[in-house]
Copies of this chain bind each other. A is one copy, B any other.
Amino acid sequence: MFKKNVLMVLVMMLSVVLLLAGCKGKEERVLPETEAAALATYVPPGELDEYYMFASGGHSGQVYVVGIPSMRLIRIVPVFTPDVATGYGIDEGTKKMLGGLIWGDAHHPNFSETKGEYDGRWLFINDNANARIARINLKTFYTEEILGPIPNLIGTHAGAFVTPNTEYVFTATRFSIPIPHYTYASAEQYKDRYKACVAAISVHPQTGKMDVAWEVAFPPVDFDLSDAGKEVSYGWTFFTCYNSEMAHKDLEVEASQKDRDFILALNWKVAEQAAKDPSKYSMIGGVKVIDPTKAPGIAYWVPCPKSPHGVDVSPDGKYFIGGGKLSPVVAVFDFEKLQKAIEAKDFEGDFSGVPVVRYESVNVAEVPVGLGPLHTQFDDKGYAYTSLFVESAVAKWKLGTWEVVDKIQVHYNIGHLVTAEGDSRSPDGKYLVALNKLSKDRFLGVGPSHPENHQLIDISGEKMTLLYDSPSQPEPHYAVMIKADKLSTLKVFPKEEGRPNSVWQAEDTKVVRQGAKVDVYMIAVRSHFTPDIVEVNQGDEVYFHITNIENDVDITHGFAICLYNVDMQVEPGETRTVKIVANKPGVFPFYCTNFCSALHQEMQGYLLVKPKL
């Protein structure tokens, strides 16, 4: 009997083992961690992502909107570059905003903030190439304003960095030039005649409208990145610089001579006052440019090892952290100690008339994160995450104890990284995205140029876990992540009867001629343009003012004219204008380019251009 029982138990145990082995069914070859990652990133049909990530498009000039955790690219928002898919830069309004520039180099997006929290109103982003800042309205996802080229600045890599109540967006020169723009001075005059400027762009608290408030001019270092103080360090902002050697050629050698460059600590509250005192600034390029040697208390250089790239302020504002890209450590500086050093005039000397604070007096840690530290982000548990370009890794370390607690490999060389709400005063933790620069073999081949690789990493546990590889279009440098419920987007533009150039019913459409200028007031509604035959004379300047009178969500109409190089989209309830010069005679179909209905193909008409005799 005993044996029989033992047998029975053994049989049962075997069954359990077999059943357990089989309980994954046909997916049994999938490793559990792979399965967990698959489920963690899968957003089932009909469900929505938890976070928006806004990534800069680099030299594409645009902004990429990505859902987290699915990593799906939901939208490319055109910013600095025309976009025929939406008509951006083609209709008269946006064409004027772009001002003839066909591209930008979009680097660092940052949200508007209220009390140090992302408020979901606007996204700012800089154009490194042409010294511009754009502002995207997060209700419409439209680029609403582009400021610049900002006088005196160029290669404005250090931008667009927002203060805790969106008082200012800061940006600064990377490649110094003689100022103002279009001034010639030979390269040999670099140290004397070339300047690196910091600009404070004020933001209207209601409308968001930007203006150049004031600038500060420095010797020709290369300002690189920035972050605004918050909480205890509110009122200050920080910029890294390299090339304190002030070399003007062979920079990859000449700008890497010194063991330490600087973080510039700028007191923007003091600068605001200096901008009211004509003895402290000069008007250059139409802007008040403050001379920091004439405005004591405005700026201090903090030595930082070596060729620092990123500077990041901790959520509580107590620390600012420099990533020296040619160093194996991040240098952590204590804001309170900086204040004490300034009070005590605890300086190593000066650099071009601006005090250099003693390194040892303000540095509180050199955290041995690994090779090539660039940028640091934060979570909700007091940890910092630093990207390591040379090592292709992310290091997790503890603020305060400075202990490195975890490291994860990424594929491959990482630049920036972003955590959920990681630049706010209350980061969410949870997700980290590594913005890796080279994907090499991580995706199907698409020719000599490979996509970048954004890797989603779970940072909710003690150990970081890699969840997903996601290809990106060229070429994100930085990204910011916001909780999805903070944004509430516009679905349909409200009908405004009095809106300039709008018409709202077929009987009000018209063609108005004044000399050789023709205004066509047109409506678009499924599946018809009214009028659908437009006849003009060769040489006429023709403005098509098109109102999409739909009030249904997502019923976009396109308007294209064959061979006339025109395409524009008009959203429900919107009016937009596009202009052509009718220099080619003949018959040119126009048609709806954005699929709108079963009879979309029939939504067409003709532009007839009568030849000059």
Contacts and interface: CB of A to CB of B under 8 A. Distances in A.
A59 B130 contact: no
A344 interface: no
A141 interface: yes
17 contacts: A9-B12, A12-B12, A12-B16, A27-B39, A34-B44, A48-B444, A58-B595, A72-B443, A102-B565, A105-B593, A149-B563, A154-B588, A175-B562, A177-B587, A181-B586, A186-B608, A251-B603
Contact of A252 (B154, B184, B489, B527): B527
A411 B46 contact: yes
Contacts of A491: 445, 448
A255 B528 CA distance: 12
* Interface SS of A by simple majority: loop
A495 interface: no
A23 B588 CA distance: 66
A455 interface: yes
Interface in A471-509: 471, 473-475, 477, 484, 487-493
Interface in A6-53: 8-9, 12-13, 15-16, 19-20, 23-25, 27, 30, 32, 34-39, 41-46, 48-49, 52
Given A49-B444, A449-B571, 13 more contacts: A25-B32, A67-B471, A75-B451, A141-B447, A155-B562, A175-B606, A177-B589, A249-B532, A250-B532, A438-B555, A445-B489, A447-B571, A450-B554
Contacts of A437: 595
A598 B16 contact: no
A355 interface: no
A37 B484 CA distance: 24
The 3 closest A-B pairs by CB, nearest first: A175-B589, A141-B447, A38-B42
A252 B602 contact: yes
Interface residues of A, number: 173
Interface string A456-470: 000000000010111
Contacts of A422: none
A511 interface: no
A484 B38 CA distance: 22
A558 interface: yes
A520 B554 CA distance: 49
